[in-house]
Structure 1
Amino acid sequence: MTLVRYLSLLLPAAALLGAVRGTDRATRAGAFLAFLAAALGVAALHELAGLGAWWGFAAVDGAYRGMPIDLWLGWAALWGPIPVLLHRRLRLPVTLGVLLWIDLLAMPRLEPLLTLGPHWLRGEFLGLLAVALPAQLLGRWTAADRQLYARVVLQMILFTGLILWLLPTAVLTLAGGAWPRLPGPALTVVAQVAAVLGLPAVAAVREFAVRGGGTPFPWDPPRRLVTTGPYAYVANPMQLSMVAELTLLAVVARSPALAAAALGAVAFSAAVAAPHERGDLGDRHGDGWLAYRHQVRDWLPRARPYRAIEPARIWLDDDCGPCAATRDLMAARTPVRLDLVPAATHPTTLWRAKYATADGYSATGVVAVASAFDHLGIGWAYLGWFLRLPAVHQLAQLITDAQIAPPHPAGGQR
């Protein structure tokens, strides 16, 4: 059994070291993300395998919730970074076929370390589709710099799973605790609070993709300095949400260990992430980054937006009652670097409100108004981040068009 465990980690590690030589930064970034995604997915698959009696492991030292850690890491390397590093030679369908072939050969031969149940192939095919495939897509798209929005969504799923499931589960397991069992109403309240705390992170990720052309992953960053959205108010919205979510879990689980993990996340951000961020962003964005950091704090949000927020305009129709009321609401709050312009002066015909910034970003309808809220203050900005969420803004636009302010022409040649 010791030899089997040794080989299960040594062989993928050797293949990984061989494949990484001579690769570019984007490919290495993709490989690392694929490893994280595969590691998270294999851990989740192990939990499902126990429920479905697909397979089980012998009791050994160095295990995580009954799964040998070396086998876990070897499996994650095989399903994640190794094929990504070879993505120019191995097409995705071929990769999945090879992974299936390896598992069909290897898994029955891992006894007595691994005991297979009668329906283990169900878990195998689920793992390939729900773990290996997303890991490969994320890694390959990152390596090739394609499908920005799709890889941002996959990164959000990945880091949410790592921070809100795998890390707390590991901490609770090591501390001898367990996830609390909450009644339905209490669970609903906790989920709603978690959604409120996580909104700045989601909005920040959206801002990175839409305004910066990049992702939250440090090796796949935005191409331009992002000072809009949550970044107009706080420099670390993602870390702030992460610590807040871990603190909420610590309170709900009554776990000092999770509280320590939240403090550890703050320490990591301050001691490791912050120096790297200062060096990297300072080199890439120079004086613009320094000016921004002089006015925007890491953890304590501003009440009003950063004064150098991207200047913008919003066109609203003076002849539309709801539009005029929206204009008056914004004007009364002294917006920062936002011009309120009559829609009648727009050179082309507008059917809904329009928001545009000097860097070329524009939006219409509900998203335009929600974007303008960034210039008013943190409370209104928070509402705007919510309204810009996928599905939320489509629903809000349908309601607005049907019940509040139907689309109508303004400006241009009519």
Structure 2
Amino acid sequence: MLTVPVIRDVLLFLSFVFLFYLALKKDQNSRINWAMFFSSLWIASTLPLFNIISVDYGLWSFAEHENTVIQMPWDLYFVWIVLWGVMPVYFLRGNYMHIVSGVLFWIDFVLMPMLQSEGLLTLHEYWWLGDLLLIILVFLPGYLWARIFIYRKLVWLRALMQMFVMGIFLFLTIPFCINIYFPFQPDYFHSDSLTTQLSFMISLPSLIAVLDLVQKGKGTPFPYDQTNNLVRNGVYAYIKNPIQWSFTFIFIPISIYYDNYWILIGTLISIFYVIGVSNHQEHEDMFVRFGKEWDDYNNSVPSWIFLWKPEHYPVGKIYFQKGCNPCEGVHSWFKEKETVNLEVDYEDNYHKKIAQVTYVDYLGNEYRSVDAIAHAFEHINLAWASLGWFMRLPVIHELLQVIVDGVGFNEAPCEIENGVRKQKT
């Protein structure tokens, strides 16, 4: 009779064999390969986190002698990633999501009591609920990520999942790995509000960069899920690598929070990676995709230092509605400012009727009301652009729009009668 250790060794061996087969087989499908990578990345990032939470809440626990930093055996963790992140995507291409989820839940429901009987695992009363949540929060999102990547759907969701995984990597995985070699206890003497503010300031350029890559570039930050358009406005008019800049310097507030300055090694590694690997690959790929447009942009915008004035900002146009006192005031304000390549005009010279204000960028994207003003701020300087980036953030944008609408700048056109602004009906 096969024992659990033998079964684990066999599963580990078969997992490696399957991965070697995928790596060496002919007729590689790059889209499927990257779909398997994305699915595995999600599972590899979220499985340890969910398992630690499950152990802490008493849903299950692995044998004491198997304890690791992720509180589960490393070989089981690796096999789990292959079984959930690689095989279903390779064989089913992201299809039959409900059936696959049900089958995996049934397998776990049968297998986990067997592992308990062999002394590897201890299950508690509501372990089945934890396993159900494991399917919903770990497997399903990873499988969904693979599916929407294969079929090129929901670009905003693909970008959101990338950000979530990178957040786990930066704020949890790296500190945990450093703690293995340089043990530390978090010191909460430092002000949480200060660390939060510093983290937000460093993260803001990358958050807006991701938003622009999705909305304007029609792609994501990952080079293997690339954009269709070269984004040259927004934060990209001030610095060439805003995401890499944020990624590099975010280790400063993280090290302050954990009170461990070994974490700053991440900043050095990031700089060396960008200079030695990323820049070479990115520049070559961007030139192939965008040619002279990329060459001109690359030569006009720095990689690591923010410009104060965006001298090469692509032409943008902002149109205001006539006969609306608040609109006239904002129109005059922009006219008086020293903007870069911002054309300020009235709706008469636009091809359709507008409400209050509309901004049109060089790619033909339209933005209205709060979004329009925020984009126009980017034509002034870094200080005003930073305010515009804050205004464009999800939730912040919606709240500002509610306030603007609440004081009379709603979407209905307005007119002046005897010096009083009235809404047209």
1:90-121 alpha-carbon deviations (Å, 9 max, x no partner):
51112112222332333333333333333322
Distance of 1:88 and 1:256 partners within structure 2? 43
Task: Quote the offset at 1:152 in angstroms.
Answer: 1.7
1:7 is aligned with what amino acid? V
CA distance in 2, matches of 1:410, 1:288: 41
Q: Which runs of 5+ in 1 are unaligned?
A: none
Aligned residue-pair number: 409
Quote the offset at 1:207 in angstroms: 0.6
User: Hey, what does 1:163 align to over in structure 2?
Assistant: 170
Q: Is the 8 A contact 2:192 2:257 kept in 1?
A: no
Aligned-pair CA distance for 1:47 = 1.1
In structure 2, relative to structure 1, the CA distance for the partners of 1:376 and 1:173 (3 Å cut) is: same
SS at match of 1:313: strand
TM-score, normalising length from structure 1? 0.90
Q: 2:395 aligns with which of 385, 391, 401?
A: 391
> Aligned AA for 1:375?
H
Q: Residue 210 of structure 2 aligns to a residue in which SS?
A: helix
Alignment of 1:138-287 (within 5 A): 138-181=145-188, 186-287=191-292
Specify the alignment match of 1:27 in structure 2. 32
What is aligned with 2:81?
76
For 1:179 and 1:85, locate their aligned partners in 2 and report how far apart those are by CA, in whole Å: 41
The answer to whether the Cα contact below 8 Å between 2:94 and 2:146 also exists between their aligned partners in 1 is: no
In the aligned structure 2, how far is the partner of 1:116 from the partner of 1:15?
30
Q: 2:374–2:391: 8 Å Cα contact kept in structure 1? A: yes
Q: Partners of 1:127 and 1:193 in 2: how far apart?
A: 34
Letter in structure 2 aligned against 1:127? L
**In 1, are the aligned partners of 2:159 and 2:214 still within 8 Å (CA)?**
yes
Question: Partner of 2:418 in structure 1?
Answer: none
Q: 2:10 aligns with which of 7, 11, 19?
A: 7
Instruction: Tell me by how many angstroms 1:251 deviates.
Output: 2.1
**Segment drifting more, 379-388 vs 58-67:** 58-67
When residues 90 and 407 of structure 1 are mapped into structure 2, their CA distance, relative to the original with a 3 A threshold, is closer
Residue range with higher mean Cα deviation, 64-73 or 240-249: 64-73
CA distance in 2, matches of 1:58, 1:331: 70
Q: In 2 relative to 1, CA 9–218 (structure 1 residues): closer, same or farther, beyond 3 Å?
A: farther
1:302 aligns with 2:307: yes
Matched, 1:333 2:340: no
Q: Percent identity?
A: 27
1: distance between equivalents of 2:345 and 2:354? Answer: 12
* CA separation of 1:23 and 1:53: change in aligned 2, threshold 3 A: farther
Q: RMSD value over aligned CA atoms?
A: 2.5
Deviations 1:162-208 (A, max 9, x none): 2222222222333212444468xx32442233222211111111111
Match of 1:129 in 2: 136
Output one character per residue of 1:273-310: Cα deviation in whole Å (capped at 9) or x when no partner: 22111121121112221211112122111112251x33
Report the counterpart of residue 380 of structure 1 in structure 2: 384
User: 1:143: Cα distance to partner?
Assistant: 1.3
Query: What letter is aligned with 1:222?
Result: T
Higher alpha-carbon deviation: 157-166 or 60-69: 60-69
- Quote how far apart the aligned CAs of 1:256 are: 2.3
Q: SS at 1:118's partner residue?
A: coil
In the alignment, the residues of structure 2 paired with residue 79 and residue 394 of structure 1 have an alpha-carbon distance, to the nearest angstrom, of: 37
AA aligned opposite 1:3: V
Q: Is 1:114 the equivalent of 2:121? A: yes
Deviation of 1:378 after TM superposition, in Å, equals 1.4
SS for the counterpart of 1:80 is helix
Residue 69 (structure 2) aligned to one of 64, 73, 76: 64
Q: Residue 231 of structure 2 aligns to a residue in which SS?
A: coil
Letter in 2 for 1:113: L
Q: CA deviation at 1:358?
A: 3.3
Q: Out of 58-67 and 238-247, give the one that drifted further.
A: 58-67
- 11 and 118 in structure 1: CA distance in 2 versus 1, 3 angstrom threshold: farther
Whether the 8 Å contact between 1:19 and 1:82 is mirrored in structure 2 is no
Residue 62 of structure 1: how far off its partner (Å): 9.6
Bigger relative contact order, structure 1 or 2 (CA pairs below 8 A, ≥6 apart): 1
Distance 1:266 1:114 in 2: 42
Report if aligned partners of 1:314, 1:340 keep a CA contact under 8 Å in 2: yes
| 1:354 to 2:358 alignment | yes
Deviations 1:53-76 (A, max 9, x none): 222233558943432222212212
Compared CA separation, residues 53 and 89, structure 1 to 2 (3 A): closer
Rg larger for = 2
In the superposition, the TM-score normalised over structure 2's length comes to 0.88
Structure-1 separation of matches of 2:382 and 2:11:
51
Give the 3 Å change call, closer, same or farther, for CA 60–329 of structure 1 in structure 2: farther
> Does the CA contact (< 8 Å) of 1:336 and 1:375 recur in 2?
yes
Q: 1:264 to 1:275 in 2, by over 3 A?
A: same
